[in-house]
């Protein structure tokens, strides 16, 4: 990536050269090549940034990996601290303050990241929100909440049926919207999960479908086998007080299965004559093993 000015590196980690020392720290600049010594010195003096002395003392000519951002007075400053997110990245960050026009979140450096919001919801300090790190017109780093806007259509057919790392960023009537591999949009339906993930939670899910619009359908890492439910039934003396009317939370508490998988596996057991649904007096049913299976 060729960058001609330091402002183009705001929000990134880059290697800069020590060109001058002062009582406040060292001044860094982009390394200059193919220039005379005098021209090189003038060019570096015009484009330099302060690395405060609390980050260490470095010799003239040393090259240091730093992260660039602007301070509270919009001055360009460098740090050797490693940010949790860089410019152009999406991730979950912890809320440290809620104000009338947005949030302040912990970026992992001395300065907190401001996330504008017209009507910020009452969030507990320490909870997480998912943001995209952008730059405003003044080249200041800010967080953006409109995550979908920064996701691109997936064209990688190789991702189909593979397990991927996803970040949950929204809850919808259909399920949970996720950032897949840091750049694609994926949806995991409520029926596919045995629990409700938190916003900002990272999961490993399987890509079950690649839609024509480039969005991804997601599901559990692997299909549960009939053997799993058989073993659970045997552990409960051959009978589970569950049927298809049971709440997802009830099913998960007893089986660690999603309601969808419970239905699929139960139907398979019944079809193979390994189990049956026994009627109860309250109009509900229990899933029970056949005697030959439970013995």
Mean pLDDT by 10 residues, the chain (295 residues): 70 94 90 47 64 91 94 92 97 95 96 92 86 95 97 94 93 96 95 84 92 93 73 90 87 80 89 89 84 60
The domain 226-294 is classified under which CATH number: 1.10.10.10, 1.10.3720.10, 3.40.50.300, 3.30.420.40?
1.10.10.10
Pairwise CA distance, residues 73 & 69, whole Å: 11
Instruction: State the Rg of the chain over Cα.
Output: 27
By C-alpha distance, which of 6, 189, 201 is closest to 92? 201
Which pLDDT belongs to residue 39?
A: 43
Strand extents, DSSP E, 62-116: 63-70, 76-79, 90-99, 102-105, 113-116
As a whole number of angstroms, the distance between CA 104 and CA 125 comes to: 10
Q: Nearest 5°: phi and psi at 99?
A: -125, 175
Residue with tokens 């999961």: 203
In contact, 83 and 42? CB cutoff 8 Å? no
- 159: which DSSP letter? G
Class of residue 286 by CB neighbours under 10 A (exposed 0-12, middle 13-18, buried 19+): middle
pLDDT (0 to 100) of residue 42: 46
Give the CATH fold of the 151-219 domain. Answer: OB fold (Dihydrolipoamide Acetyltransferase, E2P) (2.40.50)
Q: Specify whether the CB–CB gap between 207 and 216 falls below 8 A.
A: yes
- From the options 3.30.70.250, 2.40.50.330, 3.30.300.30, 2.40.50.140, give the CATH code of 6-79: 2.40.50.330
Within this chain, domains 6-79 and 90-148 share the same CATH topology: yes
pLDDT of residue 31: 65
Tell me how far apart the alpha carbons of residues 109 and 80 are, in angstroms, rounded to a whole number. Answer: 9
Please state the domain extents for the chain: 6-79, 90-148, 151-219, 226-294
């Amino acid at each position: 990536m060729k960058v001609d000015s330091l402002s183009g590196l705001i929000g990134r980690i880059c290697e800069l050269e020590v060109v001058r020392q002062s009582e406040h720290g060292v001044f860094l600049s982009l390394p200059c090549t193919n220039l005379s010594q005098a021209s090189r010195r003038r060019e570096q003096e015009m484009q330099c940034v302060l690395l405060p002395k609390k980050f260490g003392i470095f010799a003239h000519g040393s090259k240091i990996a730093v992260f660039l951002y602007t301070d509270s007075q919009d001055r360009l400053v460098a740090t050797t601290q490693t940010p949790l997110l860089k410019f152009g990245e999406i991730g979950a960050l912890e809320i440290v303050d809620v104000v009338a026009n947005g949030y302040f979140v912990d970026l992992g450096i001395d300065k907190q990241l401001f996330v504008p919001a017209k009507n910020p919801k009452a969030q507990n300090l320490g909870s997480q929100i998912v943001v995209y790190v952008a730059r405003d017109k003044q080249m200041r780093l800010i967080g953006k909440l409109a995550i979908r806007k920064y996701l691109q259509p997936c064209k990688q057919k190789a991702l189909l049926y593979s397990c991927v790392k996803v970040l949950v960023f929204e809850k919808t009537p259909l399920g949970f919207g996720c950032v897949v591999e840091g750049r694609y949009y994926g949806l995991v339906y409520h029926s596919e999960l045995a629990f409700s993930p938190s916003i900002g939670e990272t999961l490993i899910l399987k890509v079950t479908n690649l839609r024509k619009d480039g969005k991804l359908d997601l599901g559990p890492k692997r299909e549960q086998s009939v053997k799993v439910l058989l073993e659970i039934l045997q552990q409960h003396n051959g009978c589970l007080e569950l049927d298809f009317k049971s709440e997802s939370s009830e099913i998960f508490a007893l089986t660690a299965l999603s309601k969808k998988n419970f239905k699929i596996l139960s139907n398979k057991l019944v079809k193979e004559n390994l189990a049956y649904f026994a009627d109860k007096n309250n109009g509900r049913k229990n899933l029970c093993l056949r005697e030959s299976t439970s013995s």
